[in-house]
Amino acid sequence: MFWVEGKEKVINSSWIRKMFEEGEKLAKIHGAENVFNFSLGNPYKEPPKKVKESVSKFMEQEGIHKYMTNAGFVDVREQIAEHFNKESLTKIQGKNIIMTSGAAGGLNIILKSLLNKDEEVVVFAPYFVEYGFYAQNHGGKIKVVDTCHNNFIPRGEDLKAVLNDKTKAVIINSPNNPSGALYSKKTIEELATALVNWEKESGKKVFLISDEPYTEIVYDKHKVPKIMDCYPNTIVTTSFSKSLGLAGQRIGYVIISPNIEDSELLTDIMVFCNRTLGFVSASALWQKVAGDCIGEKVDISDYQEKRDIIFEHLTSLGFEIRKPEGTFYLFPKSPLKNDVEFAKIAMKYNILIVPGSGFGAPGYFRISYCVPTDMVKKSLDAWTKLAKELNL
Amino acid sequence: MFWVEGKEKVINSSWIRKMFEEGEKLAKIHGAENVFNFSLGNPYKEPPKKVKESVSKFMEQEGIHKYMTNAGFVDVREQIAEHFNKESLTKIQGKNIIMTSGAAGGLNIILKSLLNKDEEVVVFAPYFVEYGFYAQNHGGKIKVVDTCHNNFIPRGEDLKAVLNDKTKAVIINSPNNPSGALYSKKTIEELATALVNWEKESGKKVFLISDEPYTEIVYDKHKVPKIMDCYPNTIVTTSFSKSLGLAGQRIGYVIISPNIEDSELLTDIMVFCNRTLGFVSASALWQKVAGDCIGEKVDISDYQEKRDIIFEHLTSLGFEIRKPEGTFYLFPKSPLKNDVEFAKIAMKYNILIVPGSGFGAPGYFRISYCVPTDMVKKSLDAWTKLAKELNL
């Protein structure tokens, strides 16, 4: 598919990876300790202690390396269902769950199952740029709704304005990468109302896909609303990449709401897509470990400390930032209108950030602070110099 | 995509999985020890001892759970290259390798990278039925060339007859699932010649994709030819599912021949597809373990013993079977023209096999003998009774 289209499209497709790699180059020149690489959302901390114990335990289990049913181990799916049901009004069962290769695998099997040619998936900018590729993979495309004018919170009226006969799904991602914004229950209900009204008016059912890898990483006692309780046609996908710090192991899952009409058929289709897209199933060992460690999580207070240090310092320097309720990202306004230009200037001070353009939100930039606290502290001086150069 | 097309397509898509599940049902009724489930190619033996040691070792390594570069760990890819080069005239480097979620993941990223809309991928029947879905996923379709008339060995002239302007690739799978046939160097060269001649005639480059999960499972000192040495435009994909018995962990890799024109560009495109199809990368721990255990393999003599027991018994009963050089499959001729009917009759004797129709080769059936030797021996009596009912 890409073979004939030339290399530009491919090579320029990820600002995140590009900035990360620039940072690696700078580290070789200046020494890793002098480079402040805030580009990648790569959990730097080791997973909770239980993960190691759990790996040892399951490595003793006979048959742990064999194929299982394509949806994943039955016991693991039941463990996840039980955990989910504790805080959800909508009660699910193991059979409503499919174990996946992270949330990225989850999103691909969801979109492959749902989309027909040229159908649209609404996303709210700033958004994870991969969503566009995921939709394209399966014949669809994204329709971008901007939220920058509303403090990164989507509004029902803005969603309503873009719904049309081609709309098949809406992706939400809260707490949000890159803005760190947590969508309140009121916001979700507003979006749900727009979709319910649209279905009444047009007869078209639109699926709400909730991409939730950051729900465990929230601060200041904020509560993450359960999306499935707000709208029947909901599909949740999440991973253990951030909550357990297992990004490289590729383990996550999809929940297909039992409130969806023909929920079981849709689940069967998604299992088929999990198989035929080449995932076959999620990695056996990591399924078992995830089920065993459900409810465990990495040290959130550590992330919160870093958020506070950078947020306060940058705010004091004159940067405009919405204080995030969750994730390990900050999304300040770029002091220069051209965020790519700003990213280049920041590199002079060995600061690597990702331009907002990489998230469909030019004029901003993303700081990923899942880095050692020492690095955060050491970077403050560089930020001060950068602010001075820009006359903030 | 599948949502609107109805459920039949999905639910009837895998004879292998269907027969496996029938077997599980029978096991509940008659007791597992009385059911002879030869349906699934699921390695029943534990991996070599070194795998467990290797997992323990890498679980102590700091940062083992983080994202790495999307192509996979550099050191692992270099270990694989070094191993590959020992028996190959074509020398590869780590940069020619992409770590994948098994060979199924590998085939999907290869086909996504190569195929444009409506392009064709030639496969030789009997073939792994998933190939058809893999091609469809990325806008292409398969063109089936039968080999049953030639003892399951493809011929250059048969390939030549189907090549056309839409042909983008040819998939070979040797040793072959389901026939167990190993393609000789002469066979590969015959296919290569057909492709080279076609390129001269039409100007069209056709890629040879070698799906090689069974290359470590060969008997009687047979040698597997290195495909890359026979044709420049070769892409190899394989997994550790069978050689190390790690089917459930989803670990494999792709090698893009350095002899392909623009090999590096094609590799970049494939890495992009690995990322955006949602694999992101192969599971970090299993990459490291695979690299560490390269060259290890499960006990082949054990498989060979089982091949010999069933082959001899069934041959003595009058079944017609080509003696396989590799894999853990036998592909006898069905005593009834209707192989699905035969599968049903076999089930009366608690024998579960997969009809050849599930591999594009009606009139045959597949026996997967990666099962305990005891089960093989215990099944002989049931095979005798089955042969009697059919007047063999």
Q: Is B63 helix (H, G, I), strand (E, B) or coil?
A: coil
* Exposure on the CB side of residue B311, measured as CA atoms within 13 A: 18
CB B30 within 8 A of CB B359: no
pLDDT reported for residue A16: 79
List of chain B residues whose C-beta atoms are within 8 Å of the C-beta of residue A114:
1, 3
pLDDT reported for residue A9: 58
Distance between B274 CA and the closest CA of chain A, angstroms = 11
Helix A284-292 to helix A74-85 angle, to the nearest 10 degrees?
A: 30
- Nearest residue in A to B11, CA atom: A268
CB B240 within 8 A of CB B252: yes
CA distance A217 to B184: 56
- Which residue type, as a one-letter code, is found at position B232? P
Distance between A52 CA and the closest CA of chain B, angstroms = 7
Q: Which residues pair with A239 in a beta bridge?
A: A252
Interface contact flag, A245 B115, Cβ < 8 Å: no
At which residue do the structure tokens 């190899």 appear? B236
Interface contact flag, B268 A10, Cβ < 8 Å: yes
Contacts of B46 (CB under 8 A, 6+ apart): A62, A65, B245
Per-residue confidence of chain A (392 residues) as pLDDT tens digits? 444 555 555 555 677 777 877 888 898 999 988 999 999 888 878 899 999 999 999 999 999 999 999 999 999 999 999 999 999 999 999 999 999 999 999 999 999 999 999 999 999 999 999 999 999 999 999 999 999 999 999 999 999 999 999 999 999 999 999 999 999 999 999 999 999 999 999 999 999 999 999 999 999 999 999 999 999 999 999 999 999 999 999 999 999 999 999 999 999 999 999 999 999 999 999 999 999 999 998 889 999 999 999 999 999 999 999 999 999 999 999 999 999 999 999 999 999 999 999 999 999 999 999 999 999 999 999 999 999 999 88
Total count of residues recorded for chain B: 392
Q: Which domains does chain A have, with CATH numbers?
A: 3-46+298-389 (3.90.1150.10), 49-292 (3.40.640.10)
Structure tokens at A3: 């073979």
CA distance A149 to A129: 19
Contacts of A217 (CB under 8 A, 6+ apart): A175, A242, A243, A297, A300, A303, A326, A327, A328
Q: Which residues of A15-49 are buried (b: 16+ CB within 10 A; e: fewer)?
A: bbbbbbebbbebbeeeeeeebbbbbbbbbbebbbe
Q: Is B70 helix (H, G, I), strand (E, B) or coil?
A: coil
Distance between A17 CA and the closest CA of chain B, angstroms = 9
List of chain A residues whose C-beta atoms are within 8 Å of the C-beta of residue B264:
none
Helix B130-137 to helix A263-276 angle, to the nearest 10 degrees?
A: 100
Please tell me the pTM assigned to this model. 0.96
Interface contact flag, A266 B3, Cβ < 8 Å: yes
Distance between B183 CA and the closest CA of chain A, angstroms = 25
Torsion sign, CA atoms A17, A19, A23, A24:
positive
Interface contact flag, A17 B266, Cβ < 8 Å: no
Q: Is A176 helix (H, G, I), strand (E, B) or coil?
A: coil
Interface contact flag, A116 B40, Cβ < 8 Å: no
Radius of gyration of chain A (CA): 21
CA distance B47 to B66: 25
Q: How many angstroms separate the first and last alpha carbons of chain A?
A: 46
Interface contact flag, A10 B272, Cβ < 8 Å: yes
At which residue do the structure tokens 């709210």 appear? A124
- Nearest residue in B to A48, CA atom: B65
CB A202 within 8 A of CB A165: yes
List of chain A residues whose C-beta atoms are within 8 Å of the C-beta of residue B108:
277-278
Structure tokens at B171: 């998939």
Interface contact flag, B3 A42, Cβ < 8 Å: no
Interface contact flag, A250 B105, Cβ < 8 Å: no
List of chain B residues whose C-beta atoms are within 8 Å of the C-beta of residue A17:
70
Interface contact flag, A42 B67, Cβ < 8 Å: yes
CA distance A181 to A322: 8
Mutate to test the interface with A, among B108, B209, B243, B280 (most CBs of A within 10 A): B280
Distance between A159 CA and the closest CA of chain B, angstroms = 24
Per-residue confidence of chain B (392 residues) as pLDDT tens digits? 445 555 555 555 677 777 877 888 898 999 888 999 999 888 878 899 999 999 999 999 999 999 999 999 999 999 999 999 999 999 999 999 999 999 999 999 999 999 999 999 999 999 999 999 999 999 999 999 999 999 999 999 999 999 999 999 999 999 999 999 999 999 999 999 999 999 999 999 999 999 999 999 999 999 999 999 999 999 999 999 999 999 999 999 999 999 999 999 999 999 999 999 999 999 999 999 999 999 998 889 999 999 999 999 999 999 999 999 999 999 999 999 999 999 999 999 999 999 999 999 999 999 999 999 999 999 999 999 999 999 88
Mutate to test the interface with B, among A109, A267, A277 (most CBs of B within 10 A): A277
Interface contact flag, A13 B112, Cβ < 8 Å: no
**Out of A105, A116, A246, whose CB is closest to B4?**
A116
**Out of A134, A275, A283, whose CB is closest to B249?**
A283
Interface contact flag, B101 A279, Cβ < 8 Å: yes
List of chain B residues whose C-beta atoms are within 8 Å of the C-beta of residue A42:
66-67
Cβ count within 10 A of residue B308: 13
